[in-house]
Amino acid sequence: MRNTNRNLVNRQYVIIGIFALVGVIYLIKLFSLQVLDKEWIDSADNNVLRYVTQYPARGKVFDRNGKLLVYNEAVYDLMVVPGEAKNIDTMEFCRLLNISRETFEERFTKAKDYSRIKASVFLAQISKEDYAHIAEILYRFPGFYFQMRTLRHYPNAIAAHTLGDIGEVNKDEMEADSYYKMGDYIGKSGIERFYEKELRGKKGLKVVMVDVHNREKGSYLDGALDSLPVPGKDIYLGLDADLQAYGEQLMHGKIGSIVAIEPKTGQILAFVTSPSYDPNLLVGRIRGENYTKLMVDPRKPLLNRAVRGTYPPGSTFKMVNGMIALQSGSIVPATQFHCNGQASQPIKCTHFHGSSPDLANAIENSCNPYFYEAFKTTINNPKFGGIKNGFDYWVQMTHKLGLGHCFDTDIPYELPGNIPTVEFYDKKYFGRWNSLTIRSLGIGQGEITVTPLQLANIAVIVANEGYYYPPHLIRAFGDSTAIPEKMTTRLETGVEARHCKVIKAGMQSVFEGAHGTARGSKIPGISAGGKTGTAQNPHGDNHSIFIAFAPVEDPQIALSIIIENGGYGSTWAAPIASLMMEKYIKGYTERPAVEERMMNGVINYSIKKKK
């Protein structure tokens, strides 16, 4: 009996010990969870902790001379955590924000659909003034709080198409890059889009404690879980802000574009498309409404005509045919072709310059028969073994000269233009065609189309005597990061310098020759080369076109001008080009009468344009 009792007592102690041990283990675990284990605390409901995204300052944008083109202004997003938004006085809240009950319900439902426990934007881009008023009483509305971010501002209101704009990310953009969350902003066009990753920086995080009244009580764990945002890179463009603004003034009342390039680098100095718009119109809460208005404007101000406008190049293309004819050995500078003015066959001439011009004289006077004959002689050159082989050589050379394809640099939405091929004509004419069939190509008409950017690059090639750098917008990054090698790689066209010098001299005579087609636009004290173009337009009056470079001895600027329905190249395009070059080289102009006529001149498209 005594042993049995002793065994029962021992068992009792063992059972009590087991229960005591389990209790101690639970106490230790509870202490660990509540006091030691911060991860458990961190996973608690957002009733205690708020995770606030710290948006970085987007990189600023400067012109080539350090003039500020784009900077940031502070605004505030009103955020909501739907699960915390309880007992809201909806009427008072709507009065505070100046929104309707329907708007409140729509936005709150959207936030709940996204997440009941994660914050999302309820009302975006509230101004500093409105923020100050609302923030004073926002504590009455649990679940709502402010988050600061920045919006773009454009102090000069120029170069809208080049600079681009930013807008809220869409579903596809979020799926393509996990960096973005609902309510984030992303570059939508221009350099904002192309250099998005450089400009956006890196988001940070701030964890704060809030009380039951939705008021912040300070940083959690003294900021141990916080991370600082990394600002985006500043970028410097090759753009000259003063020249850009001047070009936009000159294009007032006209439809068309100006593209100016620095020949030695390929950096774009001016990128004007007209009509344009104030880039500040596409910022903040007014962006959507203004974008819709611009979209339906019949003048199409959102269209970047510098890269998306495609035109027949007209007589400016004679420089291309001249270079190819010389390089192929089909002509020499002294080669003459007969011209009989309006009686010439099969291509008539609109100028009167003597019966048999050489190449330089043909450029000066823009002789149509000469360049048709040069084109015909090239594609029929016996060394190619047939017209189709000769024409294929011509096509390849035009591509080397930057035509028929995109440059594919940092200029978004380029169009390639069109250079017809052997296959195209074989299909069109069932394999039976000759130089007479495609004679319009000799003077830049027919199926040829180019962009203003491509035309400006032709002027660059002549100025550089045979080479170019791919046209691009970037000049430098603020942190000295190297720009892409592709943009600094010299491209040879296959046309020797000696041939380009002949073309160059002919283009100089366009300004300085006794019969030069742009002699009325000669620049005081500056030698320049140019070429007028009057391109046929099936939809209305002819387009006024001009390409040019200056100074001839050391070119600093090359450009193209296209004025839609402007008539002769010498009427609008040549004077504007000469003013642009004078402004850039001298810093001022000395022809007030010409300047006033160009700035105040308006083309009435509603009357001139034909159906």
Contact 56, 230 (CB under 8 A): yes
The domain that holds 283 is classified in CATH as 3.40.710.10
In a domain, residue 428? The reply is yes
DSSP 165: -
Two structure tokens written together for 497:
């310098």
Stretches where the chain sits below pLDDT 70 are 1-11, 13-14, 26-27, 29-47, 212-216, 352-354, 606-611
Asked if residues 229 and 55 have their Cβ atoms less than 8 Å apart, the reply is: yes
User: On the CB side of 481, how many CA atoms lie within 13 Å of its CA?
Assistant: 14
List the one residue out of 145, 178, 172 whose CA is nearest residue 77: 145
Provide the pLDDT for residue 221.
79
Q: Is residue 136 part of a domain?
A: yes
The residues near 9 (Cβ < 8 Å, ≥ 6 apart) are none
Listed residues 188, 205, 234: the one ending a domain: 234
Residues 382 and 489 in one domain: yes
CA atoms within 13 A on the CB side of 533: 32
Say if residue 230 is in the same domain as residue 250.
Answer: no
- Name the one residue in this structure whose structure tokens are 């909501």: 80
Beta-bridge partner residues of 75: 149
Residues paired with 80 in a beta bridge? 120, 144
Is 42 within the bounds of a domain?
A: no
CA angle, corner 462, sides to 545 and 414, nearest 5?
Answer: 60
- Whether 57 is in a domain gets the answer yes
State the CB neighbour count (10 A cutoff) for residue 133.
12
- What is the span of the domain harbouring residue 391? 241-294+304-608
Edge-to-edge strands of the sheet including 557-563? 268-274, 256-261, 557-563, 543-550, 529-535
Tokens of 379: 């594609």
Asked if residue 531 and residue 494 are part of one domain, the reply reads yes
pLDDT tens digits for range 351-395: 766 678 999 999 999 999 999 999 999 999 999 999 999 999 999
Predicted local confidence at residue 45, as pLDDT: 44
Do residues 235 and 192 touch, judged by C-beta distance below 8 A? no
Q: What is the pLDDT of residue 240?
A: 98
Are 10 and 113 within one domain? no
Which pairing describes strands 49-54 and 61-62: parallel, antiparallel, or unpaired? unpaired
Last residue of a domain, which of 182, 205, 234?
A: 234
Q: Do 96 and 12 belong together in one domain?
A: no
CA-to-CA distance for 15 and 163, rounded, in angstroms?
A: 79
Quick check: 152 and 166 in contact, CB under 8 A?
yes
**C-beta of residue 77 within 8 angstroms of C-beta of residue 149:** yes
CATH number at residue 160: 3.90.1310.10
Phi-psi region of 158 (alpha: psi -120 to 50; beta: other; left: phi over 0): beta
Question: Are 132 and 26 contained in the same domain?
Answer: no
The closest of 396, 388, 395, 401 to 435, measured between CA atoms, is 388
Alpha-carbon distance of 38 to 128, in angstroms, equals: 37
Sign of CA dihedral 346, 350, 356, 357: negative
Q: What is the pLDDT of residue 40?
A: 46
Rg of the chain, C-alpha, whole Å: 34
Pair 60, 199 in one domain: yes
Looking at the structure, tell me whether residues 382 and 461 fall in a common domain.
Answer: yes
- Residue 39 pLDDT: 46
- Residue ranges of alpha helices (H) inside 402-466 are 422-428, 452-464
Q: Is residue 26 part of a domain?
A: yes
| pLDDT of amino acid 286 | 82
CA dihedral 302, 308, 313, 317 (to 10 degrees): 140
A 10 A CB-CB count for 246 gives 22
Do 167 and 65 sit in the same domain of this protein?
yes
The answer to whether residue 145 sits within a structural domain is yes
Say whether both 31 and 172 belong to one domain. no
Asked if 357 and 465 sit in the same domain, the reply is yes
Which one of 182, 201, 234 terminates a domain? 234
Compute the half-sphere exposure of residue 521: CA atoms within 13 Å on the CB side of its CA.
31
Burial class (CB in 10 A: 0-12, 13-18, 19+), 109: exposed
Residues 140 and 272 in one domain: no
Instruction: Please report the pLDDT score of residue 218 as a whole number.
Output: 74
41: in domain: no
CA dihedral 518, 520, 525, 529 (to 10 degrees): 0
**Domain-located, residue 129:** yes
Domains of the chain: total: 3
Q: How far apart are CA 342 and CA 150, in angstroms?
A: 64
